[in-house]
Structure 1
Amino acid sequence: MELLGFSVDLGSPVNTALFLYILYSVQKIIFPPIAKPTKVPNEFKGGYTWMPKAHPPTVLYRIYTPKTLEPFSGKDGGRILLAINGTVFDVTAGRNFYGPNGMYGNFAGRDASRGMAKQSFDFDMLTPVDAPVDPLTDLAPDEIDNMKGWVEHFSNKYIICGKLVENDAL
């Protein structure tokens, strides 16, 4: 038998079974069954609203100094900001990591550039808030690349909410 320009040999039971299965599959694709649902899904029984329960807090882009950045350490459930290479990130969504009891909690409200570049959580990696912003001139090229990698990672994950400048710049 010839069908659509193809020679079909239905002499074997296997060929016949495959041919019937293909016809059945094509029929199901072309003419899918139309059935109305018999029950309402559980998640919609109480109704549904597209409005969120609360609007997320608005984040404004600001200029920060080390002193004005320090209060954003996440204490008392507040926002958590940190700076890397002059860019300030709102890392509040990562409270478990950057909050007061998190692994990176010492970076909260601070310039984390040196610590991120050197992969160190030591407090001596942090510049005091009343000192000038760390110029990072003594970093090795691989440490600078590491810091830039963190900036890229944070840029894809957290909101950029400001720029870090010297204390006397404002």
Structure 2
Amino acid sequence: MSILTFDSELWTTCLPFLTNPINVVLLVILGYAIIPLFPSFKFDDLRSPEDVTEIKQDLKIETSPIQYNWKPAKLPDSVVWRTYTPLELRSFDGANGGKILFAINKLVYDLSSGR
């Protein structure tokens, strides 16, 4: 068999595959799945180490993995796991302006904000 030329055999072989919309969609999906397999090019590799340290000093970002880059003024209160009795849960029924708590599958939701 001879080598396929673009003008004749290759075009007549590929044309039915490219005219069918299902084949085009499958080709796009295949291309999207294959792209992560190829190594990516990073522009940071082009910079010299001196440039990178200057940029980090300008941004003043801590590079230590054990330190926060940003810390909120106050952390949210922690929730302690506790098993309630029905009498203890009575205080969360919304009476007297208290909280309304509702539990589904061991997840507790605060419904008092909708008043």
TM above 0.5, one fold?
Answer: no
Highest RCO, 1 vs 2 (Cα 8 Å, sep ≥ 6): 1
| Structure with greater proportional strand content | 1
TM-score by length of 2: 0.30
Q: Hey, which of these two has a bigger chunk of helix by percent?
A: 2
TM-score w.r.t. structure 1 length? Answer: 0.23
